[in-house]
Each structure stands twice: as structure tokens, then as C-alpha cells.
């Protein structure tokens, strides 16, 4: 796991242990595995295990319902491979690049901005001062350092001095880097059997373009009127030079994006509307409010298509990191597709008889990144009493029930006296409605702990009292409170609680 210096300047080293615990739990309990692990793994790629895929699906379902179960948002599922002209029109062929350098000594390959990011704060300030003594002589705010550096280093006149100031993190040599080259992050492949330039296609680096190119199809087939949105969940691929921090920056990931088409002039108002909606969604699904913040992009650092942009950032153990971007993309994408395809992308307003190119407010969340944020946010260690009267550390994933991979665990207290049969009946009754887990091995206390660790909201135990009065113990994960509930009313009880 790579360690980064967070934007707030704190060394992530202090939080490494927490990340290690979460990565290890994710593997041990079947949330996330390294891709192709038996062959040593493939950098920047991860596999979701039995509990992980369930939780990821729950997260995507919550997003899908939130975004498309409204009268003014439709869904699509566009193909990953698209006509190569799409990426010329979108600006990705020209602009979707990172500055990359190679170390001449050890042949390591790095992103220029990442090399800078890994310097100590003191060194960063020294480097910046060497470019502009007047501007950087005084107290520098830590969080603006990296952004300023990217700005300074994007000027080719500064390239050599920048490279001389940096040290190779692998071999430790100074002033050893090749000139920075622009490296396009799109993965290339070929359609058909001939691998020549006419057959090149790209794996999409964002799902958004599949929505733009279908704007007219969706509008005419659904008969939506502006303002309306189109939502999509799907894989995106970026050949990141450096992947880092578990699921945070990977080469293959999933996005949950929505493009909301509005009349120019109403874009600022819709931008604010969607900002509020999206922040509230994370909080409603259980993310701690105090671990979320807005980061507004400074005007000179906006993406080539954006008029305004805010990121929703989560406080990861390694610092604040973006989990979703809300962008005002203006009419950039539709205009460019109209220009490159020669197909009309304008909208005719039947009421006002006006024809215009809509502006777009985009909400773009990473499904994989949000998944990781939810895992981290839910992870708690607390002291809990043992059956023997002692105290132990209880690891509990306090996931929102809607995200929890397993909703109910069912335990027979002992494997005799008819308890397994009764437990199996309960399992049969609940399984069509919920993902349930049947566990009859080990002490009940241990079985509770195993479920706490994966965030199961309810554990149902069949015990000797069940044999007498047909009630079971239902234990709630976070409070550990236990209640006796009649078997006949159990399904209703669980559904009320989960609702």
C-alpha cells in the first residue's frame, strides 16, 4: 500500500495501521481480493468477493433508486467500447493526460505531480520558492501546495528546474529524471482482426460520453422535456501511472454518473440543487457528516469542459479525497458532438418555440471509491464484555442496513433438541426476502462477533425458550440490545426495522 502525504499536510503514516486492518479484513471476510492474486496480482485492479459484490450492488441499487426513481431522470446502459471519434469530440484524446517522468538510473516511471506530492511540506515550499520567491516567501497554506505545483509545472519553461529539485523515491537519486511527457490515460485496443490505426478503439475513461451521444435517443423515446437527466452505472478504465490506496485510484473502476440537461441560464440554480441532493445522499446512507466536505475547483484549474465544479471529499485515513464531482459542463459536450458527428444535438422547446443546446449539470460518483469510503466509515473498534466477564475488542462494521451485505444471521444455540430444525425453518422463511446467513458453529458470542465484523444488522438465536414459547432472541448489531420476538412476527419485525 502506497503512503501519501494528505492535503492537510499530516503524514499518512499515523493512519497506516487502520488502512492495513481494513484491507486485511476486506480480504479475510471476502469483500475485496487482489486481482489475479495467485499470479502475484495486477496493479490497480481488484476483485469483489461474496460480501463485497453484495455490498457494492446494494450501494449501486441505492444510487439507482435515488437518481432514476423520479419523473425527470431516465437510465441507460451504454457500451464500454465507443466510436473513436467520441473521444476526439470529448477532448480526451487531446487533454486526458498526466505528466510522466522516468528515472534514468532505476527506470522507475512516475507521475510528476505525485513525485512532488511525496516530498515533505518543507521541501515542497522550497521547490515552489525557487520559482516565485515573492509569492511563496511567506507562509504557504499546506493545502494549496500541490495545486500550485501542478499549475507551476504545467509551464514548460519550468520543466528542467522542477526535475532537478526532485528525488527518485525508488533509488534515491536526485536530478535523474527524463523530461516530462504527456501520457494519455485511455486504454487502447483494436476492433476486428487487424491491429492497425484504423481499428483503434478506447476503453471508456468515463461513462458520461455514453449518455451525451444518446441524448437525442433518450429524449425522443422517453418524451422527456428539459430539464431532465440521464443516469448510468458502469465500468470506466484509466491507465493511471500510479495507482494508490487500495480502491482509491485503480485502473478499472465503476462510476455512477448522471447528466442533467437544462436550459442555459437555469444552470446555476440546478447546479446548487444537485449539490445539495448528492451530499444529502451520502449522509442519508450513513456516512458521517463531519467526514465530508466540499472542495471547490479554482477557476484556473477547472477541467477543459467545466464552468464550475465542486468535489465531495471524504476524510480517508490518508487525507481528504474526492468521492464525487458535481460539474457544470455547460453545452461543451453536446456542441462538440454536434460538431464532430454533424448530427443535431439541439433541443426544441415546444412551448416557447426556442431551439437551444442544453447545458449539463453532471453528478459523477465513483462506485468503487464510495464503497471504500463506506467501508472505512463503518469500521469501528470498541470494548465489549465477554461471556466470561472480561472485556474484549469488538470490531464492528456499522454499515447502514441498506448497504449491509447480509441482513440477518440465524443461529441455533445448540445443535440438538430441535433447535437446528426451527432455525432452518426461519432461514427458509426469510431467505426469499433477504440475504441471510446460517451459522451453527462455535459459541454464540463468537458467532455474534463474526457478524459484527461484516456489518450484519440482526442476529436471530433459537434457544431453549423458543421450544417453550415460540420466541427467538433478536440482537441488534450496534447497540447489542436483545429482544424476544415471536417467530410468527419475525419477518414483519425485521422488515420494519430495516425500513
Closer to ligand GAP by CB, 124 or 249: give it: 249
Question: Per rule CB under 6 A, is residue 325 in the interface with ligand GAP?
Answer: yes
- For residue 336, the number of C-alpha atoms closer than 13 Å in the C-beta half-sphere is 18
Q: Which of 6, 68, 245, 255 binds ligand GAP (CB under 6 A)?
A: 255
Residues 344-383 contacting ligand GAP, CB under 6 A: 362, 364-366, 368-369
Q: Which stretch binds ligand GAP (CB under 6 A): 27-35, 252-260, 347-355, 481-489?
A: 252-260
Question: Per rule CB under 6 A, is residue 240 in the interface with ligand GAP?
Answer: yes
Contact assessment for residue 316 and residue 373, using Cβ atoms and an 8 Å cutoff: yes
Question: Per rule CB under 6 A, is residue 250 in the interface with ligand GAP?
Answer: yes
Closer to ligand GAP by CB, 238 or 407: give it: 238
**Interatomic CA distance for residues 91 and 84, integer angstroms:** 11
**Interatomic CA distance for residues 431 and 408, integer angstroms:** 9
**Interatomic CA distance for residues 157 and 33, integer angstroms:** 44
Closer to ligand GAP by CB, 95 or 415: give it: 95
Between the alpha carbon of residue 333 and those of residues 208, 261, 340, 496, the distances in Å are 10, 11, 10, 45
Question: Per rule CB under 6 A, is residue 257 in the interface with ligand GAP?
Answer: yes
Cell of 267: 444552470
Question: Per rule CB under 6 A, is residue 322 in the interface with ligand GAP?
Answer: yes
Q: How far is the CB of 472 from ligand GAP (least distance, A)?
A: 41
Closer to ligand GAP by CB, 124 or 337: give it: 337
Q: Minimal CB distance to ligand GAP: which residue?
A: 366
Q: Which stretch binds ligand GAP (CB under 6 A): 18-26, 83-91, 251-259, 461-469?
A: 251-259
Closer to ligand GAP by CB, 275 or 450: give it: 275
Cell of 232: 448510468
Closer to ligand GAP by CB, 230 or 459: give it: 230
For ligand GAP, how many residues bind (rule: CB under 6 A)?
19
Question: Per rule CB under 6 A, is residue 323 in the interface with ligand GAP?
Answer: yes
**Interatomic CA distance for residues 490 and 499, integer angstroms:** 14
Q: Which stretch binds ligand GAP (CB under 6 A): 104-112, 212-220, 286-294, 319-327?
A: 319-327
- b/e map of 12-30 (b: 16 or more CB within 10 Å)? beebeebbeebbebbeebb
Closer to ligand GAP by CB, 203 or 472: give it: 203
Closer to ligand GAP by CB, 54 or 362: give it: 362
Q: How many CB atoms lie within 10 A of CB 116?
A: 24
Question: Per rule CB under 6 A, is residue 278 in the interface with ligand GAP?
Answer: no
Radius of gyration of the chain (CA): 26
**Interatomic CA distance for residues 297 and 271, integer angstroms:** 14
Q: How far is the CB of 487 from ligand GAP (least distance, A)?
A: 44
Question: Per rule CB under 6 A, is residue 313 in the interface with ligand GAP?
Answer: no
Binding to ligand GAP by CB under 6 A, coded x per residue (else -) over 200-219, reads: ------x-x-----------
Q: Which stretch binds ligand GAP (CB under 6 A): 323-331, 335-343, 404-412, 436-444?
A: 323-331
Q: How far is the CB of 185 from ligand GAP (least distance, A)?
A: 9
**Interatomic CA distance for residues 117 and 111, integer angstroms:** 10
Q: How far is the CB of 78 from ligand GAP (least distance, A)?
A: 13
Q: How far is the CB of 238 from ligand GAP (least distance, A)?
A: 5
Question: Per rule CB under 6 A, is residue 324 in the interface with ligand GAP?
Answer: yes
Q: How far is the CB of 150 from ligand GAP (least distance, A)?
A: 15
Binding residues (CB under 6 A) for ligand GAP: these are: 206, 208, 238, 240, 249-250, 253, 255, 257, 322-325, 362, 364-366, 368-369
Amino acid at each position: 500500500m502506497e503512503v501519501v502525504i494528505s492535503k492537510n499536510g499530516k503524514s499518512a503514516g499515523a493512519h497506516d495501521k487502520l488502512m492495513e486492518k481494513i484491507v486485511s479484513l476486506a480480504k479475510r471476510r471476502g469483500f475485496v481480493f487482489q486481482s489475479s492474486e495467485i499470479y502475484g496480482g495486477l496493479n490497480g485492479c481488484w476483485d469483489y468477493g461474496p460480501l463485497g459484490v453484495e455490498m457494492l450492488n446494494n450501494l449501486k441499487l441505492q444510487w439507482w433508486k435515488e437518481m432514476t426513481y423520479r419523473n425527470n431522470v431516465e437510465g441507460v446502459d451504454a457500451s464500454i467500447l465507443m466510436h473513436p471519434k467520441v473521444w476526439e469530440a470529448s477532448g480526451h484524446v487531446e487533454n486526458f493526460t498526466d505528466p510522466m517522468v522516468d528515472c534514468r538510473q532505476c527506470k522507475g516511471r512516475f507521475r510528476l505531480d505525485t513525485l512532488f506530492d511525496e516530498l515533505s511540506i518543507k521541501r515542497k515550499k522550497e521547490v515552489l520558492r525557487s520559482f516565485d520567491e515573492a509569492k511563496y516567501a511567506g507562509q504557504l497554506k499546506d493545502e494549496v501546495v500541490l495545486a500550485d505545483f501542478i499549475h507551476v509545472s504545467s509551464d514548460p519553461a519550468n520543466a528542467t528546474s522542477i526535475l532537478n529539485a526532485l528525488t527518485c523515491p525508488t533509488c534515491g537519486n536526485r536530478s535523474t529524471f527524463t523530461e516530462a511527457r504527456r501520457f494519455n490515460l485511455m486504454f487502447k485496443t483494436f476492433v476486428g482482426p487487424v491491429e492497425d490505426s484504423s481499428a483503434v478503439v478506447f476503453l471508456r475513461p468515463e461513462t458520461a460520453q455514453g449518455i451525451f451521444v444518446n441524448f437525442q435517443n433518450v429524449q425522443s423515446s422517453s418524451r422527456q422535456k428539459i430539464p431532465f437527466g440521464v443516469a448510468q452505472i458502469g465500468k470506466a478504465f484509466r491507465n493511471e501511472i500510479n495507482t494508490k490506496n487500495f480502491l482509491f485510484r485503480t485502473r478499472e473502476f465503476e462510476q455512477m454518473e448522471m447528466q442533467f440537461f437544462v436550459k442555459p441560464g437555469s444552470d446555476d440554480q440546478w447546479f446548487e440543487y444537485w449539490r445539495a441532493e448528492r451530499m444529502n445522499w451520502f449522509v442519508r446512507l450513513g456516512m458521517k457528516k463531519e467526514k465530508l466536505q466540499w472542495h471547490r475547483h479554482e477557476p484556473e484549474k477547472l477541467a477543459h469542459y467545466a464552468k464550475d465544479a465542486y468535489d465531495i471529499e471524504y476524510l480517508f485515513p490518508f487525507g481528504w479525497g474526492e468521492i464525487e464531482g458535481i460539474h457544470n459542463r455547460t453545452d461543451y459536450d453536446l456542441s462538440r458532438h454536434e460538431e464532430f458527428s454533424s448530427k443535431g444535438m439541439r433541443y426544441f422547446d415546444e412551448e416557447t418555440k426556442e431551439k437551444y443546446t442544453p447545458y449539463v449539470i453532471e453528478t459523477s460518483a465513483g462506485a468503487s471509491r464510495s464503497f471504500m469510503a463506506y467501508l472505512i466509515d463503518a469500521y469501528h473498534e470498541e470494548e465489549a464484555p465477554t461471556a466470561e466477564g472480561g472485556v474484549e475488542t469488538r470490531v464492528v462494521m456499522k454499515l447502514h442496513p441498506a448497504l449491509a451485505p447480509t441482513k440477518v444471521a440465524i443461529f441455533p444455540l445448540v445443535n440438538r433438541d430441535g433447535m437446528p430444525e426451527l432455525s432452518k425453518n426461519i432461514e427458509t422463511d426469510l431467505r426469499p426476502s433477504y440475504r441471510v446467513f446460517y451459522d451453527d458453529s462455535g459459541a454464540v458470542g463468537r458467532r455474534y462477533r463474526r457478524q459484527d465484523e461484516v456489518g450484519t444488522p440482526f442476529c436471530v438465536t433459537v434457544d431453549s425458550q423458543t421450544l417453550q414459547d415460540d420466541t427467538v432472541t433478536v440482537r441488534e448489531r450496534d447497540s447489542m440490545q436483545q429482544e424476544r420476538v415471536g417467530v410468527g412476527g419475525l419477518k414483519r419485525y425485521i422488515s420494519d426495522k430495516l425500513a
